Every structure is written in C-alpha cells, then in structure tokens.
Amino acid sequence: MRSTRTIDISTGLFVILGFAAILFMVTQITNREFSLRSDSYRLLASFENVGGLKPGAPVSMAGVAIGRVEDIQYDMNLLKAVVTLRIDGSYNAIPNDSDASILTAGLLGGQYIGLSPGGSDQPYKDGDAVVFVQDAVVLENLISKYLFNSAATKTDEATTPAPTAAQE
Amino acid sequence: MITILRELVQGMLSFFERVGLFVRFSLRLLAILPSGLLRVRPIVEQVYNTGALSLVIIMTCGLFVGMVLGLQGYDLLNQFGSEEYLGTATAISLLRELGPVVTALLFAGRAGTALAAELGLMRATDQIAAMEIMAVDPMRRVVLPRFLGGVIAMPLLVSIFIVVALFGAQLVGVQFFGVDAGSYWSQMRGAVELDDVRQGLTKGFVFGVACSLIAVYEGYNAAPTAEGVGRATTRTVVTSAVVTLILDYIITASML
C-alpha cells in the first residue's frame, strides 16, 4: 500500500480532472451561450403551419438571437398553431408591427423564427400578438404549386392559339 | 435425455438462485448505505483504486476511440461535402453511447476485476471470516467502500473519456485532414443539447452502480479457492459487459 499522501494527491487530481471534464462538457459543447434573463417577455404568433419548428428554437432579428420559442400549441378556436416566443428583456423596443416568419437555417438546418422590424413607434409589450406572420415553407406544397403552375401554363399554351386562329 | 433435462432444470435453478442471492446482497448493501457514507477515509482510498488508477487506460483508450471516430466520421462526411459536421457527429455519438459504454467495459476490465480478485482473495484467505469472528461487519468494512468508490469514480471517468476523445477526434479531423477548427467546435455547440450530457452522465452513473455491484458481489461470494477467485473475476467481466449493454438499451429507450 502506498502512503496516504500519494493516495490523497492522486485522488484529488482525479476528482478535479473529472469535474473539469464535466464543466467542459456542460459549458463548451452545449448550446447554452444564449440564456434568457429574468426580465424577458412573451409574444404570441399564430401560424397556419409551423413546419418543423420546435420549442427551444431561436428567435432572431437580423441574425442575432434575441429569444427562444417557448411553447407551440394548436388553438381550437383560431384553428392555427399558436407559438409563444420568449424575448430577452434587453430587446424591449421592437416595433409592435414587426413581422415574424419561420425560416430554415441552411439547407438542412433546424427551423427558427425571424423577426423583421416594422415602422411603428410603439414597442411590443408582454403578451402582445404578432399580427404579420409568414408560415413555414412546406416542400410538398412548393413542389405541387410548381407542378400545377407548369401544367396550367401548358394548357394555356394549348388553348390560346385556338381563339387567335378563329379571329383570323 | 432425462439427464440432459435434469441438468437444464438444475442450471436454471442455480441461475435463479444466483439472481436471488444477488438481490439479497444488493438490498443488504442498500440498507447499510447511509452509515457507510459517513466513513470517508476508506471511500477516498477506493476512489483512488478504481478511479485514479484507471485514469491512464481510460485516457489512452479515449484518445484512440476519438481518433477513430474522427477518421471514420471524416471519411463518411467527406462524401457529402459536410466535414464541418464532424464535431457534431463525434460529440453526440460519444455523449450518448460510446463514452459511457466503452468506459463501463474498460471499468469492468480494469477496476471490476481488481475488486473481485481482492475480495475473492480475502474470502479465500479467511480474512472475511476473521472479521466476522471479531464482530466486524465485512459488508460495512470492506464491501461498501469499494462499491461507493466505484460509483463515485465512474461518472468522472466517463466525462474524462468523452473530453479526451473529443480532442482525439479534433486531432485527426482538424490537424490531419484540415477541417476548420472553428466549425468543428461551433457546429458541435449548435447541435449538442444539455440533455445529451445528462444522458451520458446518467448512463455513467447507472453503469457505475451496476459494474461495481457485480464486482463486489462476485468477489464477496467467490468460492474460497484459487479457482474460485479466478472464476469470480471472469464472471465479473462477462456479467458486467452483458448487463451494461442491456441497461444501455433500456436507458436509451426510456430517455429518447
């Protein structure tokens, strides 16, 4: 058996190393650089479709994270998805006609809410509803719109020459 | 035919008996747990034995597991032109699975066998019987500090393993293959949730409890012969590995 001093020193070293590793994991490799202050406030936005938006997704303005999505609920009266945004209290002068849209980070990235400022001189207050919203882009709708559009233009091309021929 | 059947039944019965003994042993340990927490000195000694002495092997293996992840991950991600996700892939696979599981297997091999052999030898050389004669409870005196030392050491070993492996993957990805160091860490930070860390540490703790319990049980109940000690150490490694992998599935299924 080695002396107790050696044991104590190496045990202490081991425990400190272990806790340093835990600290490193919690602070350096998780996305907690943005933490909300206690004086944050809520905004409500109702969307026809939230796509893949999840609670915890960032709310950003001009690319700067200013809050997080707190909650997503389906409202039976509005027949819409109501998203609760929690905005950091230091951003307390956002014009109250700013619009919210659901955007995608990168090609395959997660979805987030982007706010773009309006022109009103009244700021948003706690519990306000965002009036101007833009839904998430659903890829299937986009494709079907494109397909139907091209089909429509084709039928137009097929039908339009007939009247002109008849006119002549 | 009859003899085969009889042996089968006999084998099943002895298996059930062992499980029953194991449960009784665990409950006994649980009952004396509060009193054992107060005796700090022997626990520190056992944290040294199971934790500090395993540090070198854990760090070496962590480094190489990380380097392999970096190599494989880079090779795969490069085909999609998205090498910058190397950090994310490495961190998530390490935190959720590889870190706790590989550490538990190494822990069973390094610390678990040492515990089992030590206790088995104590049993074989009648030290445990001598304690009982002196009215010293060997469970309290010998088994409990070893168990607690393992339980304390495991989550710390898991964390050290994961962090060393992350730097190993960074070594291969960033230094050898030229993935951008900034995107390696920032992509990782963007995708890893606190839940992933929590899952890793929970697994580390549960595996620590399981592996330490199996090691002290097998050692304490070893047949008091040289062969018995050998069998106890073998059983420790095999049972720990199997139980770790089964528990891993159960925890993952319940936490995802």
Predicted pLDDT of residue A165: 47
Predicted pLDDT of residue B120: 92
In A, which residues are within 8 Å of B162 by CB distance?
Answer: 21, 25
Predicted pLDDT of residue B107: 94
Predicted pLDDT of residue B163: 94
Residue A1's pLDDT band, with cuts at 50, 70 and 90, is: low
More confident site: A158 or B17: B17
In A, which residues are within 8 Å of B153 by CB distance?
Answer: 14
Checking ipTM against 0.90, whether it exceeds it is no
Whether the pLDDT of residue A32 is over 60: the answer is no
In A, which residues are within 8 Å of B200 by CB distance?
Answer: 25
SS (H, E, C) chain A: CCCHHHHHHHHHHHHHHHHHHHHHHHHHCCCCCCCCCCCCEEEEEEECCCCCCCCCCEEEECCEEEEEEEEEEEECCCCEEEEEEEECCCCCCCECCCEEEEEECCCCCCEEEEEECCCCCCECCCCEEECCEECCCCHHHHHHHHHHHHHHHHHHHHHCHHHHHHHC
Whether the pLDDT of residue A155 is over 50: the answer is yes
CA distance B2 to B105: 39
Predicted pLDDT of residue A168: 44
Predicted pLDDT of residue B104: 95
Render each residue's pLDDT in chain B as its tens digit; 256 residues. Answer: 788 899 999 999 988 988 899 999 999 889 888 887 888 888 888 999 888 889 999 999 999 999 999 999 999 988 887 887 888 889 999 999 999 999 999 999 999 999 999 999 999 998 988 988 998 888 888 899 999 999 999 999 999 999 999 999 999 998 998 888 877 887 788 788 888 899 999 999 999 999 999 999 999 998 888 899 999 999 999 999 999 999 999 999 998 7
Helices B144-170 & A4-28 angle (0-180, nearest 10): 50
Predicted pLDDT of residue A71: 85
Does A25 contact B47 at a Cβ distance shorter than 8 Å?
no
CA distance B214 to B209: 9
Residues A65-102 pLDDT 10s: 888 888 889 989 888 899 998 888 888 888 888 888 88
Whether the pLDDT of residue A156 is over 70: the answer is no
Does A31 contact B193 at a Cβ distance shorter than 8 Å?
yes
Residues A36-75 pLDDT 10s: 566 788 888 888 888 878 777 888 888 888 888 888 899 8
Q: How many other C-beta atoms lie within 10 A of the C-beta of residue B175?
A: 11
The answer for residues whose C-beta is within 8 angstroms of residue B228's C-beta and 6 or more apart is B120, B123, B124, B222
Whether the pLDDT of residue A164 is over 60: the answer is no
Residue A35's pLDDT band, with cuts at 50, 70 and 90, is: low
**Shortest alpha-carbon distance between residue A9 and chain B (Å):** 9
Query: Which of A7, A11, A18 is the closest to B159 by Cβ?
Result: A18
Burial string for A18-54 (b: 16+ CB within 10 Å, else e) reads beebbebbeeebbbeeeeeeeebbbbbbbbeebbebe
Predicted pLDDT of residue A107: 64
Predicted pLDDT of residue A38: 67
Predicted pLDDT of residue B256: 76
Does B159 contact A14 at a Cβ distance shorter than 8 Å?
no
